Amino acid sequence: MIYDVGILGAGHNGLICAAYLAQAGLRVAVMERRHLIGGAVCTQEDLIAGCKIDVGSSVHIMIHLTPVLHELSLYRYGLEYIEMDPWACYPILGEKKCIYFWRDLEKTCDSIASISPKDARIYKKFVTHYMNLNRGIFETFLMPPTPARLGLAVLRRSFSSTRKVWSSLDTLRQLMLPYRNLIEELFHHPHIKTALEWLAAQTGPAPVVAGTGNLLGWNAIIHLCGAHRAKGGSGMLTQALGKKIAADGGDILTNFVAVDAAWQENNWIVKAEDKREVRCRRLVCAMHVVSFLTQIWKDPPDALRKKVSALRIGNGFGMIVRNLVSQLPEYTGDPTLDFLCHRGLQLLCPNQNYLLSSYLDYLAGAPPQQPSVVAMTFSALDPTLAPPNSHLLYTWGQWHPYRLTNGESWSHIAEREADKLYDLVCKYAPNMRGALQARFIQTPEHLSEMLALPNANVMHLEMTLDQMFFYRPCLELCAYKVPQVRNLYLTGASTHPGGGVFGASGHNTAKLILKEVGKSVT
In a shared domain, residues 288 and 189 = no
pLDDT of amino acid 334: 83
In a shared domain, residues 265 and 292 = yes
Q: What is the mean pLDDT of residues 346-358?
A: 96
pLDDT of amino acid 165: 46
Q: Of 50-54, 234-238, 329-333, 377-381, which range is least confident?
A: 329-333
Q: What is the mean pLDDT of residues 450-463?
A: 93
Question: Helices in 201-269 by DSSP H: which ranges?
Answer: 213-217, 222-225, 236-247
CA dihedral 237, 249, 494, 176 (to 10 degrees): -60
Evaluate whether residue 285 is within a structural domain.
yes
Nearest to 371 by CA among 432, 335, 329, 413: 413
Evaluate whether residue 414 is within a structural domain.
yes
| Cross-strand bridge partners of residue 29 | 6, 251
pLDDT of amino acid 170: 85
Evaluate whether residue 85 is within a structural domain.
no
Q: Which of 225, 242, 267 is the last residue of a domain?
A: 225
Q: How far apart are CA 229 and CA 379, in angstroms?
A: 10
pLDDT of amino acid 167: 62
Evaluate whether residue 91 is within a structural domain.
no
Q: What is the mean pLDDT of residues 455-468?
A: 91
In a shared domain, residues 306 and 403 = no
Q: What is the mean pLDDT of residues 455-466?
A: 92
pLDDT of amino acid 21: 98
Q: Which of 420, 451, 482 is the last residue of a domain?
A: 451
Q: What is the mean pLDDT of residues 310-334?
A: 94
Evaluate whether residue 86 is within a structural domain.
no
pLDDT of amino acid 326: 98
> Using DSSP, how many helices (H) and how many strands (E) does the chain show?
17, 18
- Asked if pLDDT for residue 49 goes beyond 50, the answer is yes
Instruction: Print the domain residue range for 247.
Output: 2-39+233-311+461-517
Q: What is the mean pLDDT of residues 234-246?
A: 98
Evaluate whether residue 90 is within a structural domain.
no
In a shared domain, residues 434 and 510 = no
- Asked if pLDDT for residue 359 goes beyond 70, the answer is yes
Q: Which of 172, 191, 225 is the last residue of a domain?
A: 225
Q: What is the mean pLDDT of residues 358-376?
A: 97
Q: Is the pLDDT higher at 391 or at 159?
A: 391
In a shared domain, residues 239 and 328 = no
- Asked if pLDDT for residue 156 goes beyond 70, the answer is no
- Asked if pLDDT for residue 146 goes beyond 80, the answer is no
Evaluate whether residue 219 is within a structural domain.
yes
Q: pTM higher than 0.85 for the full model?
A: yes
Q: How far apart are CA 240 and CA 283, in angstroms?
A: 23
pLDDT of amino acid 172: 82
Q: How far apart are CA 513 and CA 282, in angstroms?
A: 9
Q: What is the mean pLDDT of residues 467-491?
A: 92
Evaluate whether residue 92 is within a structural domain.
no
Q: How far apart are CA 353 and CA 349, in angstroms?
A: 9
Residues 6 or more apart whose Cβ sits within 8 Å of residue 390:
50, 324, 325, 326, 379, 437
Q: Is the peptide bond before 300 cis (omega within 30 degrees of 0)?
A: no
pLDDT of amino acid 153: 59
In a shared domain, residues 217 and 286 = no
Q: What is the mean pLDDT of residues 445-452?
A: 95
In a shared domain, residues 347 and 381 = yes
| pLDDT digits 0-9 by tens, 382-405 | 999 999 999 999 999 999 999 999
The domain total for the chain is 3
In a shared domain, residues 420 and 334 = yes
- Asked if pLDDT for residue 180 goes beyond 80, the answer is yes
pLDDT band for position 39 (cuts 50, 70, 90): very high
Here the CATH number for the domain that contains residue 267 is: 3.50.50.60
In a shared domain, residues 275 and 386 = no
Q: How far apart are CA 303 and CA 299, in angstroms?
A: 11
In a shared domain, residues 480 and 497 = yes
Give how far the C-alpha of residue 507 lies from the chain's centroid of Cα atoms, to the nearest Å.
Answer: 16
pLDDT of amino acid 521: 55
Please give the mean pLDDT across all residues of the chain: 93
What is the 3-class SS of 117-138, one letter each residue?
Answer: HHHHHHHHHHHHHHHHHHHHHH
In a shared domain, residues 431 and 320 = yes
The three-state secondary structure class of 257 is coil
- Asked if pLDDT for residue 158 goes beyond 70, the answer is no
In a shared domain, residues 136 and 211 = yes
